[in-house]
Structures are given as C-alpha cells and as structure tokens.
C-alpha cells in the first residue's frame, strides 16, 4: 500500500543541505514533478543557485539546523504553511577528520549537533506539521556500518542516525507517518572533494576514494536523486520503512533506473 501519495505531492517537501550535491539534485527532481520544495542550508549564495532553476517551486531558507533557532525558522517559513509531505535529512558534515584519541572536544560536539541533533530535533518539530502518509528519509552512509580510521566522528554520527531511524520506525508506526533510511553510495559531491584532500596519515583509506574518482566510479547527484525520488513517492509504505535502502542494490534498479 502507498498511503496518500497525492497528499505528499501536494504538500511541501523539506530538503536540508539543498545548496549543493544530493540536496540540490533532489530539490530539482522534486520540483520537476511540480512539488513545492523548501530547501534549507547555511550558505545563501548556493541556495539561491538552487532556487534559480525552479524559482516558482523551490523556496529557500538560510538557517543553521544545529541550533534551536534555525530549526524553528523551518516551521515558521511561509513554504511550511501547507504542511510537509516529505522531509529529507540530507545535511551533514565530515569534519573533523582525526583519530579518535586526538579529536578535539568542541569539534566533536559541533559535529554531533549537525549530523545527529539537527535531524532528530528537527523531526520533533516537523512531525506535527506533516500530512497523513508523510515520509521522512534519513540520508545514511556506509560509514554507519563500517569503521574508517580518521572518520571516527562521522562513523559515530551516521551510526547514531541509523539507530534514530530504527527507533522512530517503531514510534511513528501508529501516526500514519513513515521513516526510511537510504545509502546513496559514494557520490561526486563537495563532501567527496573534501575527502580527497585528507592526509593519508590521518585517513589511511584515502587511496580508495582517489581511485573511485579517477576511475569514474562515483555516483552522480542526479542519479541518486532519481533513486531517492522513487523511494519517497512510489515505494510501498511497508517496504519504504522496513530496511535501509542502498542505491547500489541492483534488485530495485529496474523500477527506477531507466535511461
């Protein structure tokens, strides 16, 4: 069953980290279907570039979602008045890249505020404003399930986000709201460019990511956005929330990956 697909189409889609990469591509994909998008980020000039592609459908908000003030600004936005049909927690940071035994305490706190606190406490605020059958999607990572030396903060925060998805899946079951989780693979985004600047002494797995770029094996944001749009709009309710989805799983490609 795909509950209230039409309601999700008519309500606003909230996309965090909408200024670049996956967030920008997903905003474009949803707007291309006629969906009103509220794109949130911290850098105004990048958000404006996102809005310029669909000025009548993409609305932007400059806000720091790691803060209570930033999260409340989302609820107060004009584009939020129709309610939310889709909420995509995409914004994240990789920094600090450092061994756990050397990581700075304040940098750790700031990282968790962006990658864990922001999606959790923004969800608390938006749930009362979501339409029946609305869907929340956490953008996950292989780092939630695999340890990378130097990525202790990122691995920990993505693992925490995965557990938030699992707990909310149970807690939202009686509210006619669904939460899902999706791994986009290794995507050609500004974060990946940042990954490739790391020192191999701090990040010993660097060469793998350099090779993915050099060999042309990075996912494109547009390809990932097509996958996420299918998940958000067309997958059966139970399947959407049942497991963490992975863009690289060929079993579902025939349903959305048509050229």
pLDDT tens track of the chain, all 259 residues? 777 888 898 999 999 999 999 999 999 999 999 999 999 999 999 999 999 999 999 999 999 999 999 999 999 999 999 899 999 999 999 999 999 999 999 999 999 999 999 999 999 999 999 999 999 999 999 999 999 999 999 999 999 999 999 999 999 988 889 999 999 999 888 888 888 988 888 888 889 888 888 888 888 999 999 999 999 999 999 999 999 999 999 999 999 997 5
Is there a catalytic annotation at residue 154? Answer: yes
Domain ranges for the chain: 5-185+221-245
pLDDT, position 7: 86
Report the C-alpha gap between 92 and 140 in whole angstroms: 10
Backbone angles phi, psi at 171, to 5 degrees: -75, -25
- What residue has token string 């990040």? 203
**At a CB cut-off of 8 Å and minimum separation 6, what does 89 contact?**
16, 118, 119, 122, 123, 136, 137, 138, 139, 161
Is there a catalytic annotation at residue 158? Answer: yes
pLDDT, position 2: 78
pLDDT, position 259: 59
> Which tokens sit at 214?
């050099």
pLDDT, position 172: 93
Q: What is the CB-side half-sphere exposure of residue 30 using CA atoms within 13 A?
A: 34
- Write down the H helix ranges in the chain: 5-10, 21-32, 44-53, 68-76, 105-112, 118-126, 152-171, 190-195, 206-214, 221-233, 237-242, 253-256
Which is the catalytic residue, given 158, 226, 243, 255?
A: 158
pLDDT, position 192: 85
Report the C-alpha gap between 224 and 233 in whole angstroms: 14
pLDDT, position 86: 98
Report the C-alpha gap between 229 and 259 in whole angstroms: 15
> Mean pLDDT score of the chain, rounded to an integer?
95
Of the candidates 221, 100, 90, the residue with the CA atom closest to the CA atom of residue 155 = 100
β-partners of residue 89 are 138
Which is the catalytic residue, given 81, 154, 226, 255?
A: 154
Per CATH, the architecture of 5-185+221-245 is what? 3-Layer(aba) Sandwich (3.40)
Q: Measured in whole angstroms, how far is the alpha carbon of residue 186 from the centre of its chain?
A: 14
């Amino acid at each position: 069953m795909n509950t209230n697909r039409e309601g999700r189409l008519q309500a606003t889609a909230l996309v965090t980290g909408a200024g670049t990469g996956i967030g920008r591509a997903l905003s474009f994909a949803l707007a291309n279907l006629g969906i009103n998008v509220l794109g949130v980020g911290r850098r105004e000039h990048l958000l404006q570039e996102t809005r310029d592609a669909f000025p009548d459908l993409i609305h932007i908000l400059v806000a720091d979602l790691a803060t209570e003030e930033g999260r409340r600004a989302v609820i107060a936005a004009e584009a939020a008045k129709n309610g939310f049909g889709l909420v995509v927690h995409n914004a994240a940071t990789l920094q600090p890249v450092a061994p756990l035994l050397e990581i700075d305490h304040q940098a750790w706190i700031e990282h968790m505020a962006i990658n864990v606190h922001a999606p959790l406490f923004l969800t608390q605020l938006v749930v009362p404003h979501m339409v029946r059958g609305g869907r929340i999607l956490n953008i996950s990572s292989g780092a939630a399930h695999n340890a990378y030396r130097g990525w202790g903060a990122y691995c920990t925060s993505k693992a925490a986000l995965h557990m938030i998805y699992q707990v909310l899946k149970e807690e939202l079951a009686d509210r006619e709201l669904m939460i899902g989780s999706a791994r986009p693979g290794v995507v050609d985004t500004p974060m990946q460019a940042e990954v490739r600047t790391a020192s191999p002494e701090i990040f010993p797995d660097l060469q793998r990511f350099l090779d993915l770029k050099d060999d042309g094996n990075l996912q494109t944001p547009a390809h990932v956005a097509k996958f996420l749009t299918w998940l958000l709009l067309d997958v059966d309710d139970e399947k959407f929330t049942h497991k963490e989805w992975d863009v690289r799983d060929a079993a579902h490609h025939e349903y959305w990956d048509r050229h």
